[in-house]
Amino acid sequence: MRILSGIQPSGRLHIGNYFGMMEPSIRLQDEGEAYYFIADYHALTSTHDPAALRENVRNLAIDFLACGLDPGKATFWRQSDVPEVTELAWILSCVTPMGLLERAVSYKDKVSQGLSPSHGLFAYPVLQAADILIFDSNVVPVGRDQKQHLEVTRDIAQKFNDRYGEGLLVIPEPRIREETAMVPGLDGRKMSKSYDNAIDLFEETEKKLRSKIMKIVTDSTPVEASKDPEESYIVQLYRLFATPDEVAEMEASFRAGGQGYGHYKQQLFEHVRDHFAPMRERREALLKDAAYIDDVLAEGAKKAHAQARRTMDRVRAAVGM
């Protein structure tokens, strides 16, 4: 089984990225051949400062390694080190119906958030399809926001196979875990950099982390009154970090009343801090080892490149090149 996933170097990572993509990818690296990449071509749709892009790539590599990505098990590279994906994206563009892309909600979302409506942003799902298909990927671990893009990838692969030959491209399956499919942000919408509602994976200080968590939106139920845990973003986030017993205890305490939301936020803060403490420590060490990061990405690029070339030989021959 080949597992593939990518993540954009478009700024600081948040715990939605972690639970939606990074943590499942890290777990899956023991279950098959894992291929994970830093999607810097994709980031060009939103990051236009070259120095910032370089820095984001490096920081993302450090953060992913600190969280447990093991380059001994997984191939880990920078997307632009395998430029063949852009060639495949063009070839796939020629079998992609416009209607398929016009229906993509993510393009409309991003434009409504203020991103410039470039052709790159519109064609983003085709490049994403190329990323996945060039590595003959079987399984793609993602958050729920990527479900439609995965469907687009499957449609494009099928259209290519219908035109040029059954079985030429492997049709991938998304892997979306219900419990972490949509991590809520401070305001209950999907946690996202663009909504300014994110808790960073590595907030600069404990104080900053705590003050972020204290900003989680709550209602005005009085301290002594019973509260509905199902309606609380604090509980939704707590479920990601606490044991089932701890969650049951918090839920019971919500229903019983007698505690203010600040009390529960403090509990959540302690869990988040402790969960990421060992990773934070590894990150400090990695920050001092630039050569190691360069080596990991160079080694990963070599392996990914070899695989991409094999697929491209097959694809070029199939289309008549």
For residue 190, indicate whether it is catalytic.
yes
288 catalytically annotated: no
Place of tokens 């499919």: 181
Active site residue 108: no
11 near 56, Cβ under 8 Å? Answer: yes
Q: Which residues in the 137-156 window bind ligand AQP by CB under 6 A?
A: 142-143, 145-146
- Sole binder of ligand AQP in the list 138, 148, 161, 192 (CB under 6 A): 192
| List 108, 147, 159, 190, catalytic entry | 190
Phi, psi of 173 (to 5 degrees): -115, 135
Alpha carbon of 47 to those of 37, 143, 202: distances in Å? 17, 22, 21
Q: Which positions ≥6 away from 114 have C-beta within 8 Å?
A: 194
Point out the catalytic residue in the list 193, 212, 227, 265. Answer: 193
Which regions of 85-244 does DSSP assign to beta strands (E)? 139-141, 173-175
Long-range pairs, 317-321, Cβ under 8 A, ≥24: 318/164, 318/165, 318/168, 319/91, 319/164
**Identified binder of ligand AQP from the candidate list 38, 88, 152, 191, rule CB under 6 A:** 191
Of the candidate spans 9-17, 214-222, 258-266, 307-315, the one that interacts with ligand AQP by CB under 6 A turns out to be 9-17
**Does 183 help bind ligand AQP (rule: CB under 6 A)?**
yes
Other Cβ atoms closer than 10 A to 290: 11
Chosen residue from 58, 190, 212, 283 binding ligand AQP by CB under 6 A: 190
Position 17 contacts ligand AQP (CB under 6 A): yes
Q: Is 201 in the site for ligand AQP (CB under 6 A)?
A: no
Q: Does 10 bind ligand AQP (CB under 6 A)?
A: yes
Least distance (Å) between residue 244 CB and ligand AQP: 21
Give yes or no for a contact between 40 and 57, defined as CB atoms under 8 angstroms apart. yes
- Is position 57 an interface residue for ligand AQP (rule: CB under 6 A)? no
Residue 259, SS3 per DSSP: coil
Residue ranges binding ligand AQP (CB under 6 A):
7-8, 10, 14, 16-17, 19-21, 46, 142-143, 145-146, 182-183, 190-194
Catalytic residues: 110, 190, 193
